[in-house]
Amino acid sequence: MGQVGNMAASGIRLVGEMRFPGRSEIVSDVRIYAAHWLVMALPDAADDENLLENLRLLVTELAANAIKHTMSGRWKHGSFRVRLWLGADRIRIEVVDQGWWSGPRLHDALFETSGRGLQILAAVATKWGVRRRWFGRNVWFELPIHVPPVADIANVPHRNHTQEPRRELEERTA
């Protein structure tokens, strides 16, 4: 059973996926894409400013880590994917990068000026983790949604986006 089948068995469904080029200027597009998805898929959950801000913060951290620490950002043609999952009581965001087999590491250096992204992730997310892949890894987190039960999450369409996210958002709002 593949990942989609495993996730469906746990009551969570893939509703969005987009590939981004591994460039630092794209991080804001990732943040826009994730926030836009939340607002469009779950308008009631989007009213929860804490949820929206946590989503933006954590997806920014994972995208920045993918670009800074993996081949996704070091290789000329590097890229990473952002996957969005929806369950009745939670959302799950995954960043699938071109990282090495070693997993990300939490740092405890108090006086360092960087390296706290995973500590923020661990403090804010309900759950988070890393899954190794054949070439790369999948770093994910979950956040709870506190809205009335979704009538039927099967009706939320899956979107596999291929355009640049800003252009796609502009087309939808025009």
Nearest to 104 by CA among 115, 88, 114: 115
Nearest to 63 by CA among 139, 3, 132: 139
In sequence order, what are the beta bridge partners of 108?
none
Q: Are 81 and 20 in contact (CB under 8 A)?
A: yes
20-75 confidence digits (pLDDT tens): 888 888 899 999 999 998 888 888 877 888 999 999 999 999 888 888 877 676 67
pLDDT at 137: 85
CA 101 to CA 42: how far, in whole Å? 35
Q: What angle do CA 41, 159, 96 make, to 5 degrees?
A: 100
Neighbours of 126 (CB within 10 A): 13
CA 113 to CA 108: how far, in whole Å? 12
- Looking at domain 19-173, its CATH class is alpha beta
CA 121 to CA 125: how far, in whole Å? 6
90-108 confidence digits (pLDDT tens): 999 998 887 775 555 555 5
Low-confidence winner among 85-89, 130-134, 145-149, 165-169 (lowest mean pLDDT) = 165-169
CA distances from 161 to 32, 115, 117, 165, 166 (A): 13, 31, 26, 8, 11
pLDDT at 106: 54
pLDDT at 172: 45
Domain ranges of the chain: 19-173
Rg (Cα) of the chain, in Å, rounded? Answer: 16
Using pLDDT thresholds of 50, 70 and 90, give the confidence band for residue 162.
very low
pLDDT at 60: 93
172: left (phi over 0), alpha (psi -120 to 50) or beta: alpha
